[in-house]
Amino acid sequence: MIVSICSFTVWLLLHQAHVAGSLGMSIEDVIYQLNEQRGIEINVFLNLQKTGNGSYAIFMDNILVKNRKPLPRLLYSNYTVIQNLKGIFSENCLTVAWINWENLSITLLAVDKLLKALYFTDLLIVYETKDPQQLNSQLMHIYEKCWQLGISSVMVWTNHQIYIYHPYPSITVKRLENFHEFTNRSYLENFQGYNIKIPTVDFPPRCFNYTNRQGQLIYAGYIYKLISVFFAHHNGTTEYFFADMWSKNFSMEWGLTKCKPVGCAFLPIMLDAHNLFVASWAPFLAKIVLLVPAAKEISESLYLLIPFDGIVWAIVLITGFIYFLLMFGVARRWKSNVDIGLILMEAFKTIIFVALATPKRRNIQHFMLCLLFLFTGLFITNFYTSSLWSLYTSKVYESEMKLLTDIGNTNLKLFIYSLDKGYFDVIANNLPPIIRQRLYTGDDDQFTSYRQNLNMSYIYPAIEDLADYLLLQQMYLRRPKAIKLAEPTYHRSFFISMQLRTPFLQQFNRYFSRLFESGIFNKFMLDAQWDGLTSGKYKLLKDDRSTNEALTMSYFQFAFIMLGCGLGMAVIVFVVEFLWGIKIMLNMSRGRKRNNVLP
């Protein structure tokens, strides 16, 4: 019994709603229903007619009585005082405009001015017609103007009847038989093959195209895939045309003027602030990073020094000095005249693990010196040689650049694209001084080629997704040519540029947020990097032959130089001692001759 009563109650409510829609509703009831069902938070009333005439005066007398929950209201009756509605507190608004055929143009201009930033909100038009026979053509004209303004959620109330329009695939006017047909908005989800023109640019990994082996033109890039899936999901079609953004005569104004007449809804690049385009929902802040050269290998001559740090080298020197003292003390016990040079040589031989000379008299002191020799060979010399060969094999590199301040240790300039210079000038005060001092604008073709091929004679700025795309070609290198700085230069919102008054802005924002939160958008970005490899935009780099050689003679040049210097000094000392000995012998022979001459 209770179930039957509930079913009858629901049927009665639906029947009343249907009757109200088919037989007519007052404008007050329509506004009340919209406020309740759409969750409206603010009402905006626009009437450029004389406020004392017509339905507007009746409405103002009855609106407070009809609305059980009075909402904040904005009243506009003068075009000059109208301002753009902005901010999150006015996004969920209902705009009610009183229009007749005489003030149609000026009122639509006022609506355009009022809803320039909120054109996706609901618009209720109270239309007063003097010629009911021309109502259909007049409604068609109104809806065509609304579609040009990008306002798709439009309801026209006239003669106690409600009309809406379906924009896809062409504009058609429909009279509502049920008020709920407007609130569900399902008719806006099916584009019914509506064609959208979108420019394509050669800007991997966001949007690019290539010809596969079968001769087919393939569009790739994560922004392209994002847009194409959106239109495929809504049963729409896309038409692409190429825009050469890398040409020398390309400018932002030229691109905007070229895209506006053909009705482009999306642009696959992030434009700077412009009054002709709006930004979609921004899922994150994109990092602008710098591509810098990877750390170079240290000089080959330093390999002989780096196996030990400063403390270990000090310990080695102290140990050698202790060996010298011990050997000197042992030698003085047996000889009063000790050859210091020979003792120094023996101490050095102990350090470098060369066999000691065997004395004629062997004793406990000599045995202890041999134990020290064994200790040195095991724990110092072998450790040094093993560390040295390990470093020769793995290579040692200079410290990597991680922070923006590390750029000051180089003489490299920051190469930027000519179109980006204006943006860098705007944010110049927020950039570190080291970045502002290194900015350099050169040939754009050279910039594109150098950055694509990782010619690291300059430093290049890039958004992080582009930096990852360019660095992917190094994945099989033993040592990368370029890296990205861990510290970003600055951040900017990541968004999709859309033409102002795009009617499906809110739909795309919902779609974009769902793809991002589900991780599908990240998959698009990852696939786009590999699509660049498939398209031949870049190739995986390979190490040259010299890089694969672990050891070359250049690593031993410094050792040979030390050996040559040692041999040269030995020869010099030998010659000096030889000449000194000859001089002594000559002096001795002359002394004997003088002694023989004397009586």
pLDDT tens-place string over residues 555-570: 777 778 888 888 898 8
Separation of alpha carbons 328 and 365, rounded Å: 11
Q: What pLDDT score was predicted for residue 2?
A: 41
Mean pLDDT over 339-363 rounds to 70
What is the helix (H) or strand (E) element at residue 374, kind and residue range?
helix 364-376
> Which residue reads 């700025």 in tokens?
461
Q: What is the mean pLDDT of the chain?
A: 80
Q: What pLDDT score was predicted for residue 253?
A: 61
- At 297, is the pLDDT very low, low, confident or very high (cuts 50, 70, 90)? confident
Mean pLDDT over 570-590 rounds to 84
Flag whether pLDDT at 374 surpasses 80.
no
Separation of alpha carbons 103 and 490, rounded Å: 49
Flag whether pLDDT at 367 surpasses 80.
no
What is the helix (H) or strand (E) element at residue 11, kind and residue range?
helix 2-23
Q: What pLDDT score was predicted for residue 1?
A: 40
**96: its two tokens:** 């009610």
564-572: Cβ within 8 A, 24+ apart:
none
Q: What pLDDT score was predicted for residue 238?
A: 85
Helical packing angle, 54-66 and 27-37, nearest 10°: 50
Q: What is the pLDDT of residues 234-244, one digit of tens each?
A: 998 888 877 77
* C-alpha closest to that of 39 among 183, 188, 186: 183
- At 254, is the pLDDT very low, low, confident or very high (cuts 50, 70, 90)? low
Which residues have CB under 8 Å from 494's CB, separation 6+?
270, 282, 283, 284, 285, 286
- At 27, is the pLDDT very low, low, confident or very high (cuts 50, 70, 90)? confident
Q: What is the pLDDT of residues 38-47, one digit of tens each?
A: 888 888 888 8
Q: What pLDDT score was predicted for residue 62?
A: 60
Separation of alpha carbons 345 and 570, rounded Å: 13
Which residues have CB under 8 Å from 497's CB, separation 6+?
266, 267, 268, 269, 270, 271, 277, 278, 279, 280
- At 523, is the pLDDT very low, low, confident or very high (cuts 50, 70, 90)? very high
- At 229, is the pLDDT very low, low, confident or very high (cuts 50, 70, 90)? very high
Flag whether pLDDT at 356 surpasses 80.
no
Min mean pLDDT across 76-85, 122-131, 175-184, 267-276 is at: 267-276
Flag whether pLDDT at 145 surpasses 50.
yes
